[in-house]
Structure 1
Amino acid sequence: MVLRTPSAAIAAASSRRSILQSTIKSSPRSLLIRRPYSNSPLYSSPFKNRPQRQLPSLSSPFRRTIANLTEPKNDSSSTVASTSPVPPKKPRFRVLRYIWRATWISALGGVAYMAYHIYDSKHPPEQLPQDPTKKTLVILGSGWGSISLLKKLDTEDYNVIVISPRNFFLFTPLLPSCTTGTIEHRSIMEPLRHIIRHKKRAVKYYEAEATKIDMQKRVVKINDFSDIKGSVSETEVPFDYLVVGVGAENATFGIPGVKEHACFLKEIGDAQQIRKKVMDCIETATFKDQTEEEKARLLHMVVVGGGPTGIEFAGELHDFFEEDLRKWVPDISDKFKVTLVEALPNVLPMFSKALIEYTEKTFKDENITVRTKTMVKKVTDKNIDVEITQPDGTKVKESIDYGLLVWATGNAVRSVVRDLMNQIPAQKNSRRGLEVNDYLVVAGTEGIWALGDCSATKYAPTAQVASQQGNFLARLFNSMAKTEAVEVELYNLDQRIQASKDEEEKAQLNAEINIKGRSLSKIKQLSPFEYSHQGSLAYIGADRAVADLTWFGGAISSATGGELTYIFWRSAYVSMVFSLRNRILVLTDWLKTKAFGRDVSRE
């Protein structure tokens, strides 16, 4: 027998204790075995005052005891328990897992869709050259009507020429947001080259302004008014078919001083001018030794026009002040003021009465002054003279000082359209623009169509009307091309019948003529243009909007207003933007404005 020192005994005991603990941990709780303390000197502790727990040795009898305890009992109860089927566990949160997977699949599909469209937009295919045998279709303008026509038109059937002084399409519903920097102007500009480069047959574009339409010679005279002119600044473009979509000018109603002193809101340059002038007024008002009267005048922003454009600009201006100017320029917090002037009894006349009242109440809460039944009579560089109709019918004259005046009301006929109207006797009684028939053909002409704000129809001159007119004309021109192709085939078949002497061949040709004739009648069955009103939207400030919508062709209508409508307003406008590129830019601008605010620097 080998005698161990106390330290060696302690080490051996610790080793066996660790082995036993690992064995017990791996065994079921019911197999925990407790043994009495041993009095063997081998397990005696060097600390005599503290009792030590004796660990059993892992001898063969102990192993057999563990094995016997771990064997299952052969009684009937254990047998039944072991043989009875265990019910499967029901998976928890199955619906959440399906939603999670669907979300991932949708996200991957969206990324793939975006990647494809981005690649497709950056890599246009090869185009067919223009065919001298095809007819020439000239489109004037790059607004809602002209671009809608161009996007849906099959250019394989025509030699298309686009003439416009601006080489982009402007998404005008979001133009008021550019005046305060909520959206950058490039985000709502769709380059015209991006559109025409993706057409099947090459489309020619001339950046010029149409100055005259000669009906007798069937030519359009155009002039290059750019700052850098070439050797030729004026030329003529012949046409077989002509679509006039040049839009309209700002109507001043003959009021003196409007053109000289007011800011308009139709083009991207107008929005940039307003943005610059707002900051000019603010910085000038905070100039050293400025009088209180002059500060009040400079910080008074007046908007003339209670339509959607004027309402949305007033709301954007209020947001700019409340969310940014008040914080960065605290000196003007008690003097900044916005006034809306409208000659009619109420604002937003195309909306329902409930939404008109909601808009006026919201403006009152936002401290925007609404002055209805107020007609502008004269405009100077510092004030406007107005005539107010009182409830009793009396009229009172008043002068309103302003720092910024925005004119957002009415349309006027452009000079090129008026010149064309003077050439056509059937247009002598027209005042609002070119009168057209149910197929948008200009009355008194052949092969000339008009759409958008330059045409006089029974519908309001809105972007929605112009867009639907452009889609209609695209269907019309595509149908005309198919009709002409079928007529050529019918003519050739008729010539073959006359030249043929075989009766069986003549019968086959006659059957083919009948089939072509039926298809031709179907192609010609194009219904006249009928406008389908989808509703009206307007932003009124403070993250609120109003919507007057119609569903199922006008069978159901709804009028809503508030913050949820504002979310719908944003989503609707994003979906209406023509390209994926501009949708991403607009969304990015909104996020940037929310995170960092609007830029208050002067350009």
Structure 2
Amino acid sequence: MASSSRALTRLSATGAPQKKLAGGAVANFATTSPARKPAFPSALITRTRSTVSRQFTRGYADVPPTVPARPGKWSRRLRGTVRWSWRLTYLSLIGGTAYIIYDGYDARHPEEQYNPDPHKKTLVILGTGWGSVALLKKLDTENYNVVVVSPRNYFLFTPLLPSCTTGNIEHRSIMEPVRQILRHKKAAVKYYEAEATHIDAERKVIKISDSSEIKGVINETEVPYDMLVIGVGAENATFGIPGVREHSCFLKEIRDAQAIRTKIMDCVETAAFKDQASDEIDRLLHMVVVGGGPTGVEFAGELRDFFDEDIKKLIPDIADRFKVTLVEALPNVLPMFSKQLIDYTESTFKEEHIEIKTKTMVKKVTDKTIEADVTGPDGKKEKITIPYGLLVWATGNALRPIVKDLMSQIPAQKDSRRGLAVNEYLVVQGARDIWAVGDCAVAGYAPTAQVASQEGAFLARLFNNMAKTESLESEIHELSSTLNIKPGNAAEVTQEIEGCERQLRRIKDIKPFHYSHQGSLAYIGSDRAVADVSWFNGNLAFGGNLTYYFWRSAYLSMCFSTRNRVLVALDWVKAKIYGRDVSRE
């Protein structure tokens, strides 16, 4: 008992009672004067602190440590994907900027050209359209003396021409100078800004005329050729309808787009003039498009966007009276597209308040009205009169005078009506050393830019193979002569001859031209588009807002040069931020 009491209670050095707590801790029940320091032995203090520490640790030993929760597998993957996406974006921006800078430097600093051998054949190319430029792009000009003749010293990216009419794209953004194209060829190419007026197939010469406004007089001369490629395209067809050429605006060249843009703003500003008659305002703001193909449909959509997004905000008083009408002689628009896309286009135009008049044949055009025959569901025809402020004629192709003149010289072309009939190698039937590409040629395909471009690329491969064939045949002839002169080297020379003959067989085995349809695209307004794209053995048809971005990316990739792509992209961004320019040029 005495030992237990001593274990539980002790006296301090001052006589104050102490009590031992559980775990070995000691509690002092007496208060110590602040001025007097308690005389605890240092060993006891150390033992007491260690004992409290052990007790505290034992009290919280059962509480598990707090570990931050690890993110799930899908969360980690998502974070990694986002991180790599940003890295790829940065790298793409850096790489794209570097490529644009390099391309600009390369365009401004081309390599030195050399003049081809004057003894080689002269290849004359007429025109600077899709077929001719595709030929020039892939042609090895060092194999021929190449001469280009065209009144237009630039290549025009025609699919975006409707966008130029409303200021969505500036016209110079879709133009590529021909001399810029020719300057990057290995061998020099001659270019004459002139119009070919006559082809003498017997003498193998072309008569060209320079109708420059500076000279004031027409200067004519002749250009001889050994091989001739005709890629002059076609002109607008009026089908003999009175008043079309005098009162309509066409949409085939840059000057046409500029004239339409001026006419649109002329109609708008005139309609907004003070005290204008109500009927006259309705007429001026009625825009009529004749032709339901891709050009007519895209122009109608661009025109509606122009008024809804820009004119309506700037001139709200007359914006509600604006009207667009699309006239088509066939039962529906976009006949080259699938039925579901045709229905989607027509329903979209109905939402955008674009009126479609199908089975409507224009008979006469005056300065203010259109007279047409409409075929009803019962087959009966009804005459209607449509007043208009702007009339855009976007249908049909007609032969150019030089094509008509050549066809009249060739008896084999007497039955051809739509252009120069060509064979499977695009050789003009009944002619010698003359080829034709594009809208002026009849090869059994639709007259589109896609067809003309593939025809030009085919001719480039054909001409390159022809030059290689002549070179290999000449080399074989020289080796054969060497074999007869130096019989001691027969084995080596014979091996070289066999190698040349194998190359010759591969080169001569060129297949006829075959068109590969890549698909059709059309913009229908309100940031929507339709696409009919080839997919394996069938077609993939789709439309909507996502198709609009596909349409833009496809046209952007098809632009001729990086310079065009950059300018077109900047024009789109500029129009989106600041709107279209409504100034009248």
**Shorter-normalised TM range:** 0.7 to 0.9
Whichever residue aligns with residue 546 of structure 1, its letter is V
Structure 1 residue ranges without an equivalent (≥5): 1-35, 43-59, 77-85
1:279 aligns with 265
Distance 1:295 1:493, change over 3 A: same
The match for 1:560 is 542
1:394 matches 2:376: no
Structure 1 vs Structure 2 CA RMSD: 2.9
The answer as to 2:337 corresponding to 1:355 is no
**Aligned partners of 2:181 and 2:238: how far apart in 1?**
34
Which residue does the alignment assign to 2:406?
420
Aligned equivalents of 1:198, 1:135: Cα separation in 2: 21
SS state at 2:279 partner: helix
1:168-216 per-position Cα deviation (integer Å, ceiling 9, x unaligned): 1000000000000010101101111111111000111111111111111
Identity across matched positions, percent:
65
Do residues 309 (structure 1) and 291 (structure 2) align? no
Distance in 2, matches of 1:158 and 1:171, equals 27
Distance 1:38 1:225 in 2: 122
Alpha-carbon shift at residue 459 of structure 1 (Å): 0.3
Where do 1:151-170 residues align within 5 Å? 151-170=137-156
Partner of 2:104: 118
Distance in 1 between the 2:123 and 2:103 partners?
A: 29
SS at 1:211's partner residue?
Answer: strand
Counterpart of 1:83 in structure 2 is none
CA distance in 2: counterparts of 1:397 and 1:171, whole angstroms: 38
CA separation of 1:269 and 1:509: change in aligned 2, threshold 3 A: same
Over 3 Å counting, the alpha-carbon distance change for 1:65 and 1:129 in structure 2 is: farther
Inter-CA distance 230–291: structure 2 relative to 1 (3 Å threshold): closer
Rounded to whole Å, the distance in 2 between the matches of 1:589 and 1:160 is: 35
Which of the residues 184, 190, 199 maps onto 1:198?
A: 184
C-alpha displacement of 1:354? 0.6
Per the alignment, residue 174 of structure 1 pairs with 160
**Where does residue 52 of structure 1 map in the other structure?**
none
User: Mapping of 1:206-355 within 5 angstroms?
Assistant: 206-229=192-215, 233-355=219-341
Q: 1:509 aligned to 2:470?
A: no
- Tell me if structure 1 keeps the 8 A contact 2:212–2:218: no
Q: In 1, are the aligned partners of 2:211 and 2:218 still within 8 Å (CA)?
A: no
Q: Distance in 2 between the 1:66 and 1:397 partners?
A: 116
For 1:461 and 1:170, locate their aligned partners in 2 and report how far apart those are by CA, in whole Å.
Answer: 16
Q: CA deviation at 1:162?
A: 0.8
Inter-partner Cα distance in structure 2 for 1:185 and 1:365? 30
- Aligned residue among 558, 570, 588 for 2:552: 570
d(CA) in 1 for partners of 2:411, 2:210: 30
Please report the TM-score for the alignment, with normalisation by the length of structure 2. 0.87
Gaps of at least 5 residues in structure 2 are: 1-29, 37-41, 59-66
1:232 Cα deviation (Å)? 7.6
Alpha carbons of 1:509 and 1:596: their partners in 2 closer, same or farther (altered >3 Å)? Answer: same
The alpha carbon displacement at 1:100 in A equals 3.4
- AA partner of residue 555 (structure 2): Y
Query: For the Cα contact (< 8 Å) 2:211–2:217, is it kept in 1?
Result: no
**What SS is found at the alignment partner of 1:483?**
helix
Q: Which residue identity lines up with residue 498 of structure 1 in the other structure?
A: N
The question of 1:438 aligning with 2:424 is answered yes
2:301 aligned partner, one-letter code: G
Deviations 1:235-267 (A, max 9, x none): 111111111000000000000111100000000
2:359 to 351, 358, 373: 373
Structure 1 length-normalised TM: 0.85
Corresponding residue pairs, total? 541
Q: 1:117–1:390: structure 2 CA closer, same or farther, 3 Å change rule? A: same
Corresponding residue SS for 1:223: strand
- Give the CA deviation at 1:103: 3.2
Distance 1:489-1:293 versus aligned 2 partners, 3 A rule? same
Tell me the equivalent position of 1:519.
Answer: 503
CA 1:494 to 1:277, structure 2 compared with 1: closer, same or farther past 3 Å?
A: same
Change in Cα spacing, 1:65 to 1:175, as seen in structure 2 (3 Å) is farther
Match of 2:129 in 1: 143
CA distance in 2, matches of 1:89, 1:543: 44
SS of equivalent residue, structure 1 residue 183: coil
Secondary structure of residue in 2 paired with 1:358:
helix
Equivalent-residue separation in structure 2 for 1:382 and 1:191 (angstroms): 38
